[in-house]
Amino acid sequence: MQCDDTLLRDRMAAAQAGDKEAYALLLADLLPVVRGMVYRKRSFLDVADREDLVQDILLSLHAVRRTYSPDRPFLPWFYAIASNRLADKGRQDARYKRILDIGSDFHETFPAIATNTPFEGYGDQQELADAISQLPPGQRQAIELLKLKEMTLKEASSASGLTIASLKISVHRGMKTLKRLLRQGSDQ
């Protein structure tokens, strides 16, 4: 889709002055551009996650619309925000993925005892269930939804009513507590 910078610039200037109709038109014009960008650059994500990203970009644009100066071109301003959000979200996801991966079960382990010690507890289902039951309620819920029922963050968020951010923190803390509990169990 071709975007006319002058038209977008005028619409944004009107939106900054409180013209809701111009703003709705501007966002509607930008939607296919944002979708195209996200779908092209994040083709490996599922549709729901890509749409989340589209919404994040639109929200960011809305939140910082005061930084646009109507005497400057609109598209460089808009693309700078969109690219920055894409990169930021990519870094954030990578960071959270690393957190979620902590302690996840290995399919293969090495034969040496030292390499297996921290994960020995996982082989004992009863011990694992006992350890999970000892977790604080928030952490237990996050572990059950994300690790046992293997829900996505979004699904877990709508099932529990908690925000994605707090679920991520709870599951991270839950995994740490679980590791500690299982280590204590195997030491005894």
Footprint on this chain of another protein (rule: CB under 8 A) = 15-18, 20-21, 23-24, 27-28, 31, 51, 54-56, 58-60, 62-70, 72-73, 76-81, 84-85, 88, 165
**Distance between CA atoms of residues 14 and 112, nearest Å:** 68
Q: Which is nearer to another protein, 78 or 139 (CB)?
A: 78
Shortest distance in whole angstroms from residue 155 CB to another protein: 16
Q: Give the DSSP letter of residue 44.
A: T
Nearer to another protein, 34 or 135 (CB): 34
Give the count of beta carbons closer than 10 Å to the beta carbon of residue 176: 14
The one-letter code for the residue type at 61 is: L
Q: How far is CA 57 from CA 23, 114, 165, 181, 183, in A?
A: 15, 46, 18, 41, 43
> Which of the 8 DSSP states describes residue 122?
G
Decide whether 55 or 116 has the Cβ nearer to another protein: 55
Least spacing, CB of residue 22 vs another protein, in Å: 9
* Alpha-carbon torsion (46, 54, 89, 148), positive or negative: negative
Closest to 142 in 3D by CA, of 159, 124, 120: 159
Nearer to another protein, 54 or 156 (CB): 54
Return the structure tokens found at 170.
Answer: 């709870």
- Closest distance of CB 175 from another protein, Å: 22
Q: Least distance in Å: CB of 33 to another protein?
A: 13
Between 78 and 172, name the residue whose CB sits nearer to another protein.
Answer: 78
CB of 42 to another protein, least distance (A): 15
